Amino acid sequence: MTIHAQRRAALARQLGPGGIAIIPTAPERPRNRDSDFPYRHDSYFYYLTGFTEPHACLVLDGAGGSTLFCQPKDLEREIWDGYRLGPEAAVAALGVDTALPSGELEARLPALLENRACVWFPFATHEGLAARVEGWLAKVRARVRFGALCPQQQGDLCLLLDEMRLVKDAHEIGLMREAGAISARAHLRAMRRSARMLAAGEDVREYHLEAELLHEFRQSGAQAPAYGSIVAAGANACVLHYRADRAPVRAGELVLIDAACELDGYASDITRTFPANGRFTGPQRDLYDVVLASQEAAIAATRPGARFTDPHDAAVAVLAQGLLDLGILDRSQHASAADVVATRAYFPFYMHRTGHWIGMDVHDCGSYVEPGEQGQASERRDALSGETIIDRPSRILRPGMALTIEPGLYVRPTPGVPEAFHGLGIRIEDDAVVTEDGCELLTRGVPVAADAIEAVMREEAEAA
Ligand code: GLY
Ligand code: MN
Ligand code: MN
């Protein structure tokens, strides 16, 4: 049995005997006129089939029966758009019971839904799917007078698939390890290019560094960046969703790069912050070492049995102390790091979470609440926004769960904050898989300690 057939069987067991599931792949998306955005399959569909062609849909029943709708062979279309597997070859290639041309989907779906108790489909990820399901069910209802039974229940397939996808198997971890290694090499290339060009007195731009990333991704066989690459020179690093653009990369400033590849459907996600010319200034190094220490604390808290929020809490405690030690927060106004945490005084400098699930999607699916404990809700008023927040027990980490660990500090020019820190934005991000006794970092092929970054860049500058 292939890994995809095993996943289909595992899902079928959860659909119940009268259940049937519909999982379409992603649509093609027009960019302008007759040009499309690069095609990316749907992650749920790919998880169950390993099939990357557009215009495909999997139908799976509770007894394990599977029907794939896919593009038919068509010589003319294949001359223009490329090879199609076609339904005839799909049965053997993908291990499905039946494969039919995608053009038959509309006509066949109502019959497949007939006499089923529950129809499952992803509720929130496929625009227009709920309306299409309604249309198919309307056709089943029209046959009730001929004895057909119409499914009375609808279930959100995401709930089942998200739980399956949350715990990665060995095949997935292997791919994520490889994606992480490629992305780490890409970051190294960008660091080296920055040092080399500045040592040679050249005009370095953010796009020069982005070019190094893209080169390494494709050179290594990765299909695409897993998300829009952030290459932020100087104060641009304080814009969390800044994109690689054309700003000059100057000696004496930091560069924040948050970029990583997708390999065979699996994402990686790395951030490194380094001095453009390879030498940290004193204040840069001080702030960097606080962020690195916070990441180390978060990594130590990433282990089975811990809660998803534990790494975040560990990171925030270290950042809060660092903000006081560096005088970015005023000791006369904040009694202790615990006080900084309780009042969320760190928030103007650290406004995002310390991590997220990662897998096929860079921000991968999976509930952040522990399923067996979601009823244990408690309410609190947020210290800053005044919003009422409902806290539910956070997810308990288990081996095979994959998450990023990405603390940062972003110091916009702020009255009362020492000017030496103004405009510094630092984030350090690695990808971790929870193991039996801790976690494995998948992205440490690129150095993270300040001395190690300086050593790599010095070597490159000296060779220039
Ligand atoms: N690159 C997106 C993130 O770090 O979450
Ligand atoms: Mn990132
Ligand atoms: Mn991330």
- Whether the CB of 431 sits within 6 Å of ligand 1: no
Report which ligand 1 atom has the smallest distance to the Cα of 429: 4
Q: Whose CA is nearest to atom 4 of ligand 1?
A: 269
* Rounded Cα gap, residues 30 and 108, in angstroms: 27
Q: What are phi and psi of 55, to 5 degrees?
A: 55, 45
Whether 357 contacts 374, CB under 8 Å: no
Does residue 238 surpass a pLDDT of 90?
yes
The reply to whether 182 and 145 lie within a common domain is: no
| Centroid of ligand 3 to alpha carbon of 431 (angstroms) | 8
The full DSSP string for 103-124 is GGHHHHHHHHHTT-SEEEE-SS
The reply to whether 195 and 255 lie within a common domain is: yes
Closest CA to 203 of 243, 250, 255, 254: 250
Compute the average pLDDT of residues 191-212: 98
DSSP-derived 3-state class of residue 352: coil
The pLDDT of residue 382 is 87
Going across the sheet that includes 153-156, the strands are: 98-101, 66-70, 57-61, 19-24, 118-121, 153-156
The reply to whether 227 and 91 lie within a common domain is: no
The full DSSP string for 241-260 is T------B--TTSEEEEE--
- Given 210, 429, 454, 460, the catalytic residue: 429
Location of structure tokens 């990316």: 40
Looking up residue 408, the CATH number of its domain turns out to be: 3.90.230.10
The reply to whether 267 and 401 lie within a common domain is: yes
Question: What pTM value is reported for the model?
Answer: 0.97
- Given 210, 258, 262, 264, the catalytic residue: 258
- Given 216, 406, 431, 454, the catalytic residue: 406
The reply to whether 148 and 176 lie within a common domain is: no
Domain count, the chain: 2
- Return the structure tokens found at 375: 């009823």
Q: pLDDT tens digits, residue range 296-324?
A: 999 999 999 999 999 999 999 999 999 99
Closest CA to 63 of 2, 109, 7, 12: 12
Give yes or no: 427 in active site. Answer: yes
Give yes or no: 363 in active site. Answer: yes
The pLDDT of residue 149 is 95
Compute the average pLDDT of residues 374-387: 91
List of residues 6+ apart from 379 with CB closer than 8 A? 388, 389, 390, 391
Q: pLDDT tens digits, residue range 97-142?
A: 999 999 999 999 999 999 999 999 999 899 999 999 999 999 999 9
pLDDT band at 27 (very low <50, low <70, confident <90, very high): very high
Question: Backbone dihedral region of 265: left (phi > 0), alpha (psi from -120 to 50 degrees) or beta?
Answer: left
* Rounded Cα gap, residues 200 and 209, in angstroms: 15
The reply to whether 95 and 212 lie within a common domain is: no
For residue 386, count other CB atoms closer than 10 A to its CB.
Answer: 7
Does residue 464 surpass a pLDDT of 90?
no
Q: Whose CA is nearest to atom 5 of ligand 1?
A: 363
Q: pLDDT tens digits, residue range 422-463?
A: 999 999 999 999 999 999 999 999 999 999 999 999 999 999
Residue that finishes a domain, picked among 165, 185, 220: 165
Measured CA to CA in angstroms, residue 69 lies from 3, 105, 129, 322 at distances of 20, 7, 16, 56
- Mean per-residue pLDDT of the chain: 97
| Centroid of ligand 1 to alpha carbon of 363 (angstroms) | 7
Burial state string for 126-153 with b = 16 or more CB within 10 A and e = fewer than 16: beebeebbeebbebbeeeeeeebebbee
Residue that finishes a domain, picked among 135, 165, 195: 165
DSSP-derived 3-state class of residue 343: coil
Whether 303 contacts 439, CB under 8 Å: yes
Give Dmax (Cα) for the chain: 83
- Alpha-helical (H) ranges within 265-421 are 282-300, 309-325, 337-342
Residue that finishes a domain, picked among 122, 145, 165: 165
* Rounded Cα gap, residues 260 and 279, in angstroms: 24
The reply to whether 109 and 15 lie within a common domain is: yes
| Centroid of ligand 2 to alpha carbon of 241 (angstroms) | 10
Pocket probe for ligand 1: among 230, 231, 256, 258, the residue whose CB has the most ligand atoms within 8 Å is 258
The reply to whether 130 and 272 lie within a common domain is: no
Whether 4 contacts 50, CB under 8 Å: yes
Compute the average pLDDT of residues 408-421: 97
Compute the average pLDDT of residues 201-210: 98
Compute the average pLDDT of residues 229-253: 97
Q: What is the tally of helices (H) and strands (E) in the chain?
A: 13, 21
Whether 41 contacts 52, CB under 8 Å: yes
The reply to whether 370 and 388 lie within a common domain is: yes
Whether 431 contacts 444, CB under 8 Å: no
Looking up residue 99, the CATH number of its domain turns out to be: 3.40.350.10
Half-sphere exposure of 378 (CA within 13 A, CB side): 4
Does residue 385 surpass a pLDDT of 90?
no
Domain of 190 in residue numbering reads as 167-463
Compute the average pLDDT of residues 235-256: 97
Location of structure tokens 């820190």: 421
The reply to whether 440 and 375 lie within a common domain is: yes
* Rounded Cα gap, residues 203 and 190, in angstroms: 15
pLDDT band at 1 (very low <50, low <70, confident <90, very high): confident
Indicate the pairing of strand 271-275 with strand 254-258: antiparallel
Give yes or no: 55 in active site. Answer: no
The pLDDT of residue 180 is 99
Does residue 190 surpass a pLDDT of 90?
yes
Report which ligand 1 atom has the smallest distance to the Cα of 356: 5
Report which ligand 1 atom has the smallest distance to the Cα of 427: 4
The reply to whether 153 and 193 lie within a common domain is: no
* Rounded Cα gap, residues 77 and 452, in angstroms: 52
The reply to whether 155 and 178 lie within a common domain is: no
Given CA atoms 449, 451, 456, 461 in this order, what sign does their dihedral have? positive
Give yes or no: 356 in active site. Answer: yes
pLDDT band at 383 (very low <50, low <70, confident <90, very high): confident
* Rounded Cα gap, residues 270 and 441, in angstroms: 11
Pocket probe for ligand 1: among 262, 312, 362, the residue whose CB has the most ligand atoms within 8 Å is 362
The residues placing their C-beta within 5 Å of ligand 3, an ion, are: 269, 404
